[in-house]
Amino acid sequence: TTTSQKFMTDADVIFSPPPKSLAERVSQGLGWLTRGRQTDDRAERLLYFFTAIEALLSNDDKTAPVTQTIARHAAVMLTNDNHNRSEIAAEIKALYAFRSALVHAGSRSVSGSVANRTQNIAEALYMTALEKADLKSSHETFNNSLAKASYGSTWP
């Protein structure tokens, strides 16, 4: 795998990403995924994995609700079936509620299944980005493509 041309090209752009590119966000997010995998504390794992998800899917639009944007964009990346998109988005919103309770209220009661499910989603998002997205494109272009597809069209 590591000797394939695609792997080497992706690795080069991830380790030396153009400014404001998708590769820059992927590079940041992969670091958070690594941190999440290294800790045993479930609350910390949840925070690290959601930080990775936010690194990939958050945008500079401060008027858009973060939870809604992340949930919709993640659902677009994970399926082209609109019915399943709404179910995935709802699950991500429910998981994000645990993250919000932890960050805003200090609630550290995170179950292993919540931390594990968040990890699974984060890893699936990064695998999808690496397989389907143009890492050299701007992060804004990537986000705009997800936003457009969130109204029912296919992605990518």
Give the pTM: 0.94
Residue-level pLDDT at 122: 98
Q: Which residues contact 31 (CB under 8 A, 6 or more apart)?
A: none
Reply yes or no on whether the pLDDT at 5 is more than 80: yes
Closest to 89 measured CA to CA, from 76, 72, 114: 72
Rg (CA), the chain: 15
Rounded Cα–Cα distance for residues 91 and 143 (Å): 20
Cα angle for residues 156, 116, 65 (degrees, 5° grid):
55
Q: What is the mean pLDDT of residues 135-143?
A: 97
Q: What is the mean pLDDT of residues 120-142?
A: 97
Question: What does 40-51 look like in DSSP terms, one character per residue?
Answer: --HHHHHHHHHH
Rounded Cα–Cα distance for residues 122 and 150 (Å): 18
Residue 127's pLDDT band, with cuts at 50, 70 and 90, is very high
Indicate the length of the chain as a whole number: 156
Reply yes or no on whether the pLDDT at 41 is more than 90: yes
Q: Read off the pLDDT of residues 53-72 as tens digits, 9 standing for 90 and up.
A: 999 999 887 777 899 999 99
Closest to 78 measured CA to CA, from 125, 16, 133, 135: 125
Cis-peptide into 18, omega within 30 deg: no
